[in-house]
Chains A and B, each alone.
Chain A
């Protein structure tokens, strides 16, 4: 099997409201690496993640996955990528399990209820799998969103502020998930204002905006 070159950006530029947030950005994340994006508020971290996952199309530059521009080999890239943004992408009227079931159906994954229940237990939601989401707390809802990480076969994780609203126990679980993923050859690109120390894999960080 050919070695996977992972995610690359070439000469990527982004502007918002007439101001250039960044330009000439060349990043690369190979299997087994993680990238921590840092920067002040408004420095373009979320915009960069949106460009990486393909929600936004860059005016200048390219995003490459395994050497191919993501605008071309789109379906392959999307099936191999998991994006969790600021919004949790959960329906409040459904239960945690129903939300995970829908997410699996949407990405064409087989639905294994036991695995899903396991993932929820791992995130500390034992006994809350069938409750409607609207009665859970903000932190618990975020844990449900993060439970998708344990179920998804995607190699690339793009996480926007995943540690927000999590208590220290949940932060530990999330870090553990990220560590295992990277150790198995996966890739994680994430933004966070706090310092994150992943024990495994090659961990880099990049600072956007003025240093």
Chain B
């Protein structure tokens, strides 16, 4: 990505700046007051690094440099239009462009690191952004990711697939591998923007490339406790496009780094900074009956697609589950892990159209969500991270199965 492709006036604004130590991109989650507080926080960082803050004009308006501080301030504000240049682009493409623009600006300005903020936190001040930047500046870390407190109901795609799969494949217990808030060193941006960034394969989402690229490139990774994230209300009836948007890039990265993750055994914790900030979580109601209906409908009508992806034993288990009374439907973690692996393999083999494949996984995901929610109903209050840890262990236990299927997909698999 060339810096010239940065939309509207942003390239001229950046061209006026000779160099910087830090580039901070604000996609959302910081209002005008928060932005001014952030500028103060950035000025107070050790060594007063010269910082360029790219602020998304689509969210909450734009602050001027005079508002942010005096003309000689070490912090410069540059308005940033994230959704340009192609209004017809999908949201994931727009965000992908935003990450690439940020990395390109980091390269152009010769900055030591960059950071992108896209989520909103509960009871949090913009100071946490400075905490995200600290390991990049004071230590030799290349990738800093937030560690959001796991929520019972929100962020389940991360808890059920993204986290356990990343942990099991790449051997690092990174709780939010897709950020979306990230701190990235210049070394890692160079690697991501380098000529072999996609290894000749289809372009992927830069967020999905970050963690695998950093782990397989032997770079230093850490997490920062970021508190509880505020999740916008979720439309459970329209999950399939989200599944396709999120899992597609992850499965592509899996294909790209196959040689690396096949050598990895077990998993290890990564350095984690800050203190856990646990707040009482509001309970959100899930329409479990509707989810079970979707699963049962999937078992009835999507058999012909699933039979191309899943082995007979798994299909048999699913049929058995669908015949149970709605209050007894329970998908074991081991079964769920194998389903995810089988879909990842089918994605690699292009068994069917990839978009169809990922969308057809939705009823199975809903069945797992139902089982997960039921466990909390039956067992009462229990720490969410314990439950997620159990799932991650199931993924790790099933990894030999996945490696075997990945290497010999044609081998008989009952």
Say whether A associates with B.
no
List chain B positions with a Cβ less than 8 A from chain A.
Answer: none
Residues in A lying within 8 Å of B, measured CB to CB: none
